């Protein structure tokens, strides 16, 4: 005859404690396994940063495909940010330090990168303005958040022009003039020069 499952209220306190401890040991890694985050740092970075998966999706993949412990989503958020330094966006308080670095580079083209991903200047400038960046002023240079790089000069492979905060995002550089020769004639603009033998009437 199978053992009868008694309601918890009928069990001794010592047995209840044992059940709770067993449950916790099943869900949480041992002290030696607390490095599960650093041991899987490359995989987590690939899923979260390179493949741009949401935190919820990363949790699902790690637990279903890689035998990761079933941590709550809030634990993922804390561990990825504080232990692994992985983030896709900055807090409001982080942007003044970024602004200081960009400002000190003057008119030089500057790229802002978070874990290797470049932040479009329009988006970065919007966040800088929201952060109350003027409070940074000429105060002591603040430390950049983990994973953030402000780089000058920027790689030539960047798709969009990178600016300094002296320029408004609305004043992006105008595209270069076409190298194709143009000749103005009357009220028209011809894309190719006129033949030498053709002489317009006066």
Q: Is residue 108 scored above 50 in pLDDT? A: yes
Calpha distance 58→52 (Å, rounded): 9
Closest C-alpha to 115, from 149, 143, 151: 149
Is residue 3 in a domain?
no
Q: Is residue 116 scored above 70 in pLDDT? A: yes
Last residue of a domain, one of 105, 133, 151: 151
Q: Is residue 148 scored above 60 in pLDDT? A: yes
Is residue 119 in a domain?
yes
Residues 65 and 126 in one domain: no
Is residue 172 in a domain?
no
Calpha distance 44→63 (Å, rounded): 12
Check residue 34 and give its pLDDT. Answer: 55
Confidence of residue 151 (pLDDT cuts 50, 70, 90): confident
- Pick the more confident residue, 148 or 165: 148
Q: Is residue 188 scored above 50 in pLDDT? A: no
- The pTM for the full model equals 0.48
Check residue 102 and give its pLDDT. Answer: 87
Q: Is residue 73 scored above 90 in pLDDT? A: yes
The three-state secondary structure class of 112 is strand
Q: Is residue 194 scored above 80 in pLDDT? A: no
Q: Mean pLDDT highest for which of 136-140, 151-155, 158-162?
A: 151-155
Residues 121 and 57 in one domain: no
Q: Is residue 56 scored above 90 in pLDDT? A: yes
The neighbour count for residue 87, using CB atoms within 10 Å, is 20
Calpha distance 74→138 (Å, rounded): 37
Is residue 159 in a domain?
no
Domain count, the chain: 2
Is residue 18 in a domain?
yes
Domain that residue 15 falls in: 8-83
Is residue 158 in a domain?
no
Q: Is residue 63 scored above 90 in pLDDT? A: yes
Is residue 71 in a domain?
yes
Residues 12 and 38 in one domain: yes
Residues 14 and 79 in one domain: yes
pLDDT, tens digit (0-9, with 9 covering 90-100), for 2-12 = 444 444 443 44
For 20, the token pair is 């709770």
Check residue 37 and give its pLDDT. Answer: 93
């Amino acid at each position: 005859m199978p053992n009868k499952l008694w309601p918890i209220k009928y069990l001794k306190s010592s047995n209840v404690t044992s059940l709770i401890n067993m449950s916790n040991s099943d869900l949480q890694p041992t002290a030696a396994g607390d490095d599960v985050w650093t041991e899987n740092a490359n995989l987590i970075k690939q899923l979260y940063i390179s493949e741009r998966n949401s935190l919820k999706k990363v949790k699902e993949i790690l637990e279903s495909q890689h035998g990761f412990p079933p941590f709550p989503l809030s634990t993922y958020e804390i561990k990825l940010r504080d232990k692994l330094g992985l983030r896709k966006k900055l807090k409001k308080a982080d942007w003044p330090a970024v602004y200081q670095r960009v400002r000190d580079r003057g008119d030089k083209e500057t790229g802002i990168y978070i874990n290797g991903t470049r932040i479009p200047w329009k988006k970065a400038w919007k966040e800088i303005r929201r952060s109350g960046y003027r409070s940074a002023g000429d105060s002591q240079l603040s430390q950049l958040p983990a994973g953030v790089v402000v780089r000058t000069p920027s790689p030539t492979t960047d798709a969009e022009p990178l600016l300094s905060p002296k320029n408004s995002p609305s004043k992006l550089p105008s595209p270069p003039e076409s190298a194709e020769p143009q000749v103005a004639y009357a009220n028209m603009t011809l894309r190719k020069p006129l033949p030498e033998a053709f002489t317009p009437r006066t």
